Structure 1
Amino acid sequence: MSLPAQPPTLLSHRRKNIRSCIRHFTWSWHTIVMGTGSIGSLLAHFHFHQPGSRALEIATLIFFFLDLLFFVLVCGATIARYYMFPELWPAVLRHPTQSLFIGTFPIGAATLISNALAVHQSYGFAGSGFVYALWVLWWVDTVVCFLTTVGTLVVTKETYSLDSISPTWLIPTATLVVGSSTGSLLATALIPVNVRYAAVGAATSFAMLLMGLPLCFMVITLYLMRLIVHGPLDLNLILSSFIVLGPLGQGGYSILINSQNVAALRLVPSLSPEAIQAVCFCLAWALWSMSFIWLCIALASVYSVVRHRRLLFSLAYWGLIFPNGVFALFTVELGVFLDNAALNYLGAVFSVLVFLLWAFVFAKTIPNVWDTTLFDSPCATKLDEGEF
């Protein structure tokens, strides 16, 4: 009598060699830079701490250099991938979803610039010329943000249907919003040093925000229609539901910072700083309210899917950290702006939860990197199978 066939298990997975890992290295790895950078920002702006706290200073510096290390490693692997396998570049551009993740590169770079500025301002890291160096790097990142947003929308030739819409479409347009947030922080730092540069930075960041945020609203509207008509996303995309929090939270944060910059800059008499701040606060409060309801929608969507099927660990988990992190940072800044105790405590709770989420995802990533299961590129697989 023959034995029944055994079901396939994960033990059958074969480890990839270094060359194969590089070939299957995707743009999604930049979400690690984004997520780690958001933790650094939360530490730098944590509300409840003693001034000059040595423990918080050390933690902030650790996450800054850890984020810098991740950025160098991920960029190095990305460059090596397209140098060794140049045929993958057009394949990525033609892919309907992988091309969207190119925007994670300028977002991660903008987050790293923000953290470098926070470390410089709070702990005197590097000299006074460091701000100008970050200013130049921000302009480079701004150009990349524009090219990513416009290029991704133009190059992608895939035919889409309503049920294929997901929040990953927000990534290219969100680059402008995140870049705007970094520009507003740099403008704040430049006000006491160079008012002219600060004014240019504030105006540019406002313009980027007004370009990127409406585009994000259009995509969010399409995604809401998809939810109403077709219900929650499939299991492999369900964690992307939280991406909506990214542009909403980062946009509101940028509005608050820029409104404070306006009050410190010299404007023409017809522009009242008080009126601009009032309008900006109303917009920021609307974005925070929208972020909160989308957080509830994302949680409900994930629960409705994972209660029936098991969700295996993947790089998609790293996509949870940045959107929730910027929402927590937005809550912290709103509490400081209003001097409101409830928002201060809520921001602190959100910050702690995001840090715990980062620790969980980081701990799960290490063994999956070791056994190479995270190195999986749909583009490389399709090329190997001759589908492109």
Structure 2
Amino acid sequence: MIDAFQGPRRDDDVERGEYRMNPAGGHSVHISSNPIDEGSSTDARAVAVAVAVHSAAIDVQRNGGGSLGKGNNSLNVAQAGGGLSGRYARYARELRRITLHFTPSWFSVNMGTDITSILLYQLPYQFKGLHVIAEIIFALNLALFLVFTSISAARYTVWPTMGPTMLFHESQSLFLGTFAMGLATIVNMCALAIGTSWGHNFALFTWAMWWLDSIISILICLGLPFLQFTRHVQSLDKVTGVWLLPVVAPIVSAASGGILADSILQPSQARLTIIVSYILWGAGFGLAFIIMTLYYARLAIYKVPPATLIVSAFLPLGPCGQGAFGLLKLSESILHLSDRSNQALAGASLFSAQDAHIMSISIYAVSTPIALVLWGLGLAWLSLAISSLVDLWLVSELQFNLGWWGFTFPLGVFCTATTQLGRLLDSGAFKILGTILSLVEVLLWLFIASMTLIRVWHGTIFFAPCLAAIGGEPPAHVPPARKYVFEPRQRSRSRSASRNRSSG
């Protein structure tokens, strides 16, 4: 975050990870890193360089430089010869700064907002007008998603090197999973709130969006671990819950497939969607369980993360809650599919209608206790996360940052699993608990959204740590540096001999 302030630098600010300096312009600048958004090791020198470069660029602009970018990849602000007025020039500079520092972690806002609309729409105890409130929040989230996508597209179009810069950053790149999960929640509400009321063509459009989200999810789920294996520098003490974001995306897409198959798709489309959803669930949850084990070891050995990263302790709640909900929804979809078309996962020509129904009931019967096990694991992790948060809060100040959105979605998907268990088990206890947790999530969403709006208004929440680490401006070139040890490929003898003859 970058914020103008008055006052000298203090040593305790440095200890908290905040760095202040007075550039030559006579104004002071305050930078503090975003939360779970940043598990990187950016030091004070790198941040100071970023501030100096940014401030110098503004000074040059005010003195008639006319550009805050580099080469052909900059956004120029013309101030002379009948150009923009000083006010509009300042707006343009601020818009450039916001666009340049707009990180993928902003899509966590979409995740938290849309899960709130889903919870309100499916709350076990409804009152008149609650569906309308949920649909209004959904419309707001859809608008935010389009705005965030447009800003992100502008960022990587105007500054093409920001793409690989972000991908090669150890923590920034992991937030790409929030884009896929944000899109999946929109698909969910399209199926729940609109369904087939807008016609068959809209149902097909929703299904196509689910396929797009599934492809993006699996690419992120496999691509980010590949970058961690080859391009990132990691250590056990740097493991955070953010590692789960790329691999949870397919689990969210799988649960979304169960919703679509049960509400808007034809039997043949539903069967294909269910099969693909199980594959997505397996790919995501298998990796998520491995990372959760690694994260548990990190917490036990290196203890709880600092205040700026403590919210990441809640992220393991996501795969538990969404994994349980996905299993329940997929098994329910299979059961309804057998009732509608006399077929289950297997082809209709292989089993009779009675056998298909028995198979669907068996899958349903097995999925329910597995979902209960995952829900129990999530409850245990929720208890540990709350205990760790309270213990840290007793001795350390918790400052708001964009990472606080990590509270909303993990808790929200745990609520959906709770209410789904209450409905399928006809359990009043699960329904009441799901309602209470859902109301807590809604209150959290209101508080975090309000705090975010305040900081957006003041412009203090936009900060890209991958830029601070390289001087504050997009690089001209990003080499694809491999972080592992390898023997360089040797030229073949024939090519070497041919080259020697030609040179002779």
TM-score, reference length from structure 1: 0.92
1:118 to 184, 192, 205: 192
SS of the residue aligned with 1:17?
A: helix
- What residue number does 1:255 align with? 327
Query: 1:364-383 alignment to 2 at 5 Å?
Result: 364-383=451-470
Matched, 1:328 2:402: no
- What residue number does 1:146 align with? 218
Asked if the contact 2:317/2:414 (under 8 Å) is kept, the reply is: yes
What is the alpha-carbon distance in structure 1 between the residues aligned to residue 197 and residue 244 of structure 2? 34
Equivalent residues, number: 377
Asked if the contact 2:192/2:263 (under 8 Å) is kept, the reply is: no
How far the C-alpha of 1:332 sits from its partner, in A, is 0.7
How far the C-alpha of 1:118 sits from its partner, in A, is 1.0
Matched, 1:44 2:121: yes
2:283 to 200, 211, 215: 211
What is the alpha-carbon distance in structure 2 between the residues aligned to residue 299 and residue 152 of structure 1? 29
How far the C-alpha of 1:385 sits from its partner, in A, is 5.2
What is the alpha-carbon distance in structure 2 between the residues aligned to residue 83 and residue 288 of structure 1? 42
What is the alpha-carbon distance in structure 2 between the residues aligned to residue 176 and residue 353 of structure 1? 26
How far the C-alpha of 1:339 sits from its partner, in A, is 0.7
1:28 to 84, 97, 105: 105
SS of the residue aligned with 1:312?
A: coil
Asked if the contact 2:119/2:412 (under 8 Å) is kept, the reply is: yes
How far the C-alpha of 1:7 sits from its partner, in A, is 5.3
Alpha-carbon displacement from aligned partner over 1:248-288 (angstroms, at most 9, x marks no partner):
11111010011111212313438622221111001100011
How far the C-alpha of 1:159 sits from its partner, in A, is 2.8
What is the alpha-carbon distance in structure 1 between the residues aligned to residue 131 and residue 368 of structure 2? 30
How far the C-alpha of 1:234 sits from its partner, in A, is 1.9
Residue type at the aligned position of 2:399: L
Residue type at the aligned position of 1:137: M
Q: 1:308 to 1:60 in 2, by over 3 A?
A: same
1:294 to 381, 402, 405: 381
1:178 to 252, 258, 270: 252
Matched, 1:128 2:188: no
SS of the residue aligned with 1:275?
A: helix
Greater CA deviation, 178-187 or 79-88?
79-88
What is the alpha-carbon distance in structure 2 between the residues aligned to residue 375 and residue 125 of structure 1? 40
Alpha-carbon displacement from aligned partner over 1:219-273 (angstroms, at most 9, x marks no partner):
0000011111111112221111111111111111010011111212313438622
Residue type at the aligned position of 2:104: W
Residue type at the aligned position of 1:344: K
What is the alpha-carbon distance in structure 2 between the residues aligned to residue 307 and residue 12 of structure 1? 31
Residue type at the aligned position of 1:233: P
- What residue number does 2:485 align with? none
How far the C-alpha of 1:334 sits from its partner, in A, is 0.7
- What residue number does 2:141 align with? 67
Residue type at the aligned position of 1:211: A
Alpha-carbon displacement from aligned partner over 1:345-388 (angstroms, at most 9, x marks no partner):
10000010000000000111111001111100011222325897
Asked if the contact 1:64/1:116 (under 8 Å) is kept, the reply is: no
Asked if the contact 2:120/2:130 (under 8 Å) is kept, the reply is: yes
Asked if the contact 2:307/2:399 (under 8 Å) is kept, the reply is: no
What is the alpha-carbon distance in structure 1 between the residues aligned to residue 135 and residue 363 of structure 2? 35
Matched, 1:223 2:295: yes
Alpha-carbon displacement from aligned partner over 1:60-115 (angstroms, at most 9, x marks no partner):
21011011011011111111111111111111111110010011101000001101
Residue type at the aligned position of 1:282: P
Alpha-carbon displacement from aligned partner over 1:279-336 (angstroms, at most 9, x marks no partner):
1001100011001010011111212222222121111011111111111111111100
- What residue number does 1:347 align with? 434
What is the aligned-residue identity percentage?
Answer: 31
SS of the residue aligned with 1:46?
A: coil
What is the alpha-carbon distance in structure 2 between the residues aligned to residue 240 and residue 213 of structure 1? 18
Residue type at the aligned position of 2:103: T
What is the alpha-carbon distance in structure 2 between the residues aligned to residue 151 and residue 70 of structure 1? 26
How far the C-alpha of 1:210 sits from its partner, in A, is 1.3
What is the alpha-carbon distance in structure 1 between the residues aligned to residue 250 and residue 120 of structure 2? 24
Asked if the contact 2:103/2:464 (under 8 Å) is kept, the reply is: yes
Structure 2 residue runs of 5 or longer lacking an equivalent are 1-6, 14-19, 21-26, 31-89, 345-350, 479-504
Larger Rg: 2
Alpha-carbon displacement from aligned partner over 1:22-77 (angstroms, at most 9, x marks no partner):
11110000000000010011011011015xx3x11210210110110110111111
What is the alpha-carbon distance in structure 2 between the residues aligned to residue 384 and residue 7 of structure 1? 20
